[in-house]
Chain A
């Protein structure tokens, strides 16, 4: 039991961060607008959660210009994918234990 709890990742312990990772697990990338619409978060709120995931190196940010407008893409890093998969596995094991 203790071992499983250790795999529960505090970085994903919030609805928005959980949502961002879920979206990036099944999509190659997502932009800010797509995440905002899917998660129903405000700009500031979403930006701060993105920043915290970026600090953990679970997601990476790609800035580029599309027709002179800035366009930011978010991708899950390899570490992010592994960490999130561990988190999902741990959640599922904990549910089965009950």
Chain B
């Protein structure tokens, strides 16, 4: 009879430690959708560049602005989807959407990400755009690894994979577009599905 209580105590301790330090309501489904948005956005960008009179991308001009808009829409839709689905999941888990754990997750995610974004923008100003794809992947990966301490486990591996892709991209800048498609499209779908089946269905 007593042994049951001990087991219950241990599981209660573990649950409290996780709940108080990690935001567990991150939705796997939102990862899958973010990947889908990235693939659609990449397809649009590909068509835009290939149907342009030059057939390749230059930094000033209408096509470039359209691609920036495309990128912005992908990011915007992904963030909105993640927020909506996580709120839904948090409600189901009985977890608050805006508490210490989600705040900590967001801050630690944003520090490397915003640093990277500003760095890329500075580099674009001085026409150093060749490594943009690589830098996006690397800083996004670092942001994920940094945030992973405060949420579910798979985020860490997603982050490490993004960093590796970013480094490969630095070696092979010509394949930047395709590595970006793998990193932001397929990886999100794969890891999102893993998280969805492991955590969402419960």
**Residues of chain A at the chain B interface (Cβ within 8 Å):** 15, 18-19, 22-23, 25-27, 30, 34, 37-39, 88, 91-92, 94-95, 98
Contacts and interface: CB of A to CB of B under 8 A. Distances in A.
- Nearest 8 A/B pairs, CB to CB: A22-B16, A23-B20, A26-B21, A22-B13, A26-B17, A98-B3, A19-B16, A91-B6
Interface of B: 3, 6-7, 9-10, 12-14, 16-17, 19-21, 96, 99-100
A15 B10 CA distance: 11
A88 B16 CA distance: 13
B7 A30 contact: no
B12 A15 contact: yes
Contacts of A15: 12
Contact of B17 (A23, A95, A98): A23
A8 B99 CA distance: 33
Contacts of B9: 18, 91
Given A18-B13, A18-B16, 19 more contacts: A22-B12, A23-B16, A23-B17, A25-B17, A26-B17, A26-B20, A27-B20, A27-B100, A34-B100, A37-B99, A38-B16, A38-B19, A88-B13, A91-B10, A92-B10, A94-B3, A95-B7, A95-B10, A98-B3
A18 to B, nearest CB: 6
